[in-house]
Amino acid sequence: MDRIASELNIELVDLAEHRMSSYDYDHLNRDDDFEPLMERVLAHDQIIFATPIYWYAVSPAMKVLLDRISDLLELPELLPAGRRLRGKNAYVVCTSSSDEPSVAFTEAFRETFAYLGMHFGGVAHVNCQNGYLPAVHDAEALRFAAVVRKAAQAR
C-alpha cells in the first residue's frame, strides 16, 4: 500500500493506530475513534480499503471498521454521513500468500460496497509470502494507481 500511496500522493490511515471498539447493538461505543475517522474518510470521493488476507478474510481491524459502518446506517444522527458513501468509488488492496485473492474475500467487499451504494473500482493483490519485492510487485501497484487516477479524473 505504501507504493500505491506514494504514487497517488494520498493519506494512509493505519487502523491499528486508532481506538475502535467492535460493533455494539446498543451503540455504547460512540466515544472511540470511529466517527472522527469516518468524517476524514467521507471527505474523499475514492476510498481504498487495504488489508492482508487472513484465512480468506480481512484483518481484525478492517473487520471492525466494516462492521462499524453499520453505525452510519442505524443511528439517525449519523444517517446523513452514511448516505455520503453513496456514489463513492471503493477499491481493495490486499496481500496474501496466494497468487490471487479468494472469490469469497473479494465478493464480501463487492457485496458490502453494493449495499452501501458505492462503486467497486477494483482490486490490487500481490503474493507477499516472501515479503514485498519491488522488482516483482511494483508493476501491480503502478497498474492499480493508474486505475484509481483515471477514475478520479473522470469524476
Element (DSSP H or E) covering residue 127: strand 119-127
Q: Are strands 119-127 and 46-52 parallel, antiparallel or unpaired?
A: unpaired
CATH number for position 10: 3.40.50.360
Model confidence, pTM: 0.92
Owning domain of residue 48: 2-154
Distances (CA, A) of 128 to 15, 97, 104: 20, 6, 19
Q: What is the pLDDT along the chain (155 residues), one digit of tens a residue?
A: 788 998 898 989 999 999 999 999 999 999 999 999 999 999 999 999 999 999 889 999 999 999 999 999 999 999 999 999 999 999 999 999 999 999 999 999 999 999 999 999 999 999 999 988 888 889 999 999 999 999 988 87
Give the number of domains in the chain.
1
